[in-house]
Amino acid sequence: MSNFSPPIEPGVTLLSAPIELAGDWGKMAPDTAITVLDRMRRACLQDARLVSDRQPTRIRVDEHDSGVPAVWLHPDGSAVAWIIVDIGERAWAQLAYQFGHELGHVTANSWVAHAKPKGPSQWLEEALVEAFSLRGLARLAKDWSASPPFPGDQAYGQAIADYQANIVSDYRRLAAEQGMTKGRPATWFRRHRAEIEAGGGLNAFARAASVEILAAYERIPGAVEALGALNRWPGRTELPLPEYLRQWEESCKELGASPDLPAFLRTGLKPG
């Protein structure tokens, strides 16, 4: 028998990186929590190409009893994406939602030490990753109903669907209050630009915009994969929106990802 060289092991990706737990999970069994986290990860990523050249080799999910969900930008130089959540006891829909949002930031290359969120374009990243989580929740709900991870738990799929639908409903109300009529996001952006770009985190305008982006994820082939091309340039979200979108389109081309999502946003928002 011929001696062949050993097979080359495929590199670790965001979809295959081991998930580990940290923090106080109370009475929640670790294996159960990891099962939910992995299901949500697959719901978010399974049908998207992972194009980033900055993918972590491990994902740590740290349960805190207070504070807001976040990605901890730890300065130790390790390839661990460290996600912080704050959930109720066995609140699996809440866990999936919080994890999905922060996983979106990781997908968008915002997990390394220098990836501090800054304006004026941070609102767009927040809207993108919120829509990423909402899309994942809808898929998780269907998957859970069809093939529950726990015996006899099909009904919880509807609870996840309701959780997602309630968030989307709230965001659509916000969009209507802000005057974001369908097909006219440029008017909305021009009218509220100062407030949109001044607000930190997932502000009310980013929430409203996430509903439009959610629809774009479903409508534009390759839209989700474009997240992996975000924030690979100096300045990251500190760049003004026109330059941010231009850099994103260039980054997509460099990685062989579809540039259709940033092009769609440029056309829709008309930032200048």
Tens digit of each residue's pLDDT, the chain (272 residues): 334 444 444 589 999 999 999 999 999 999 999 999 999 999 999 899 999 999 999 999 999 999 999 999 999 889 999 999 999 998 999 999 999 999 999 999 999 999 999 999 999 999 999 999 999 999 999 999 999 999 999 999 999 999 999 999 999 999 999 999 776 899 999 999 999 999 788 999 999 999 999 999 999 999 999 999 999 999 999 999 999 999 999 999 999 999 999 999 999 999 98
pLDDT of residue 182: 73
> In angstroms, what CA-CA distances link 240 with 105, 111, 246?
19, 21, 10
Q: What is the pLDDT of residue 199?
A: 77
Which pLDDT does position 10 carry in this prediction?
53
Residue 72 is classified by DSSP as: E
Give strand pairing partners of 83.
Answer: 61, 71
Return the pLDDT at 5: 43
Rounded CA separation 154/174 (Å): 32
The per-residue pLDDT for 181 is 79
Amino acid at 65: D
Q: What is the pLDDT at residue 1?
A: 35
Q: What is the CA radius of gyration of the chain?
A: 19
| Element of type H or E holding 80 | strand 80-85
Q: Say if pTM beats, i.e. exceeds, 0.85.
A: yes
